[in-house]
Amino acid sequence: MIRFVWLTVILGVATVTFSQEQSESRLAVEWLFQRYDSNSDRRLGPSKIPQKIRNLFDRIDANRDEFIDLHEDIAFRTNRDRQPMRRSHPSLAKGIVANRDIEYARVGDNSLRLDLYSPKEPAARRPLIVWVHGGGWRNGSKDRCPALRFLAKGYVVASINYRLSGVAIYPAQIHDCKAAIRWLRAHAEQYSIDPRRIGVWGSSAGGHLVALLGTSGGVEPLEGDLGSLDHSSRVQAVCDFFGPTDFLQMDDHAVPNAPFKHNAPDSPEALVIGGPIQENTKKVEAANPLTYVTPDDPPFFIVHGDKDPLVPLHQSQLLFDALKRAKVNVKLHVVEGGQHGFGRNSDVDKLVDSFFDKQLRANSK
């Protein structure tokens, strides 16, 4: 289900986010709320609200004080959306079966699972695209997978879960992602996967993890000891949507009135590495995709909005520049006016399709 915020829907300037990125969406909402709070009093009176949405004012103003504060805005949205939800499953291309909740590894009591969409009957080997969800490393789920559109184009698609920062700190997250890639290779014949053609795609925290998958192939400390260790975790193509690449530089390049500080002890980055980032620079270095860039990295396609309030565009520019210096095949596409995500942008969709087709289908021989 796609959730919208009353203010940003009607003004048409908000990021459309999936429910798996709800916490990041809330931060973006706070930033947009501040944008219309011209005198910075953390309240919106009728005069601050466009005429066309003033009919909602009384419904949101719960305490009837003639002002809307951020908590009332969030409460209105939450109460509106607090309806019983069924886990919906999208329709699949003919001949495709959904293999859901497959355990690819286990850590103590934690079962690490993936969904795999593959041909119902044995078929010629197909390229695989693996989706890695976002959510600030602390939220999110494999249940929403935008890569499913590739099924109709002759791909196999997987969507994976990984341990979140409330369960384990870094490098658990990249260990899990690499274990998933190895499991998929180990079971390639069973699911009609071509193990030589695996691409990864992720957004935000998922963008960070797929970038790491791309740059850290063969880096032993990041491999972990889970899953099918006799198979490679390397990937052949990376599509990174607005993923962090150097945590220490994020605050220096944030947009004005960014909703939180990455250097804060409770930031998503601090929670995933286990402490404030400026006090744990070695841990941050080990988590940064930039650290591992080498000339043998796979092709990258990076997409980022130039108005992103959560992950500055500069993060993608850093990765692009580093890959360019290493002579890696890389392209950066900047979405003008794009914030932390851009919904279903047909132009971006076409570019992503073209990238994976070129890297995974054209090189099939």
State the 10-residue block means of pLDDT for the chain, 365 residues long: 39 39 56 63 62 60 57 64 55 87 96 96 93 95 94 96 97 98 97 97 98 97 93 98 98 91 96 98 98 98 96 98 98 94 86 97 66
The number of helices, as runs of H, and strands, as runs of E, in the chain is 10, 12
pLDDT at residue 2, rounded to an integer: 40
How confident is the model at residue 5, as a pLDDT?
40
Record the pTM.
0.78
Tell me the domain boundaries of the chain. Answer: 2-81, 96-361
pLDDT at 65: 46
What was the pLDDT predicted at 363? 58
What is the crossing angle of helices 172-186 and 205-215, to 10°? 60
Dist. CA 93–CA 96, nearest whole Å: 6
pLDDT value of residue 153: 93
Which class for 110: exposed (0-12), middle (13-18), buried (19 or more C-beta within 10 A)? Answer: middle
Q: Given this model, what pLDDT does residue 91 score?
A: 74
CATH 1.10.238 fits 2-81, yes or no: yes
- The residue type of 63 is N
- At which residue do the structure tokens 């949101």 appear? 60
**CATH, domain 96-361, list 3.30.70.2860, 3.40.50.1820, 3.40.50.10210, 1.10.10.10:** 3.40.50.1820
Pairing mode of beta strands 193-203, 300-305: unpaired
The pLDDT of residue 84 is: 47
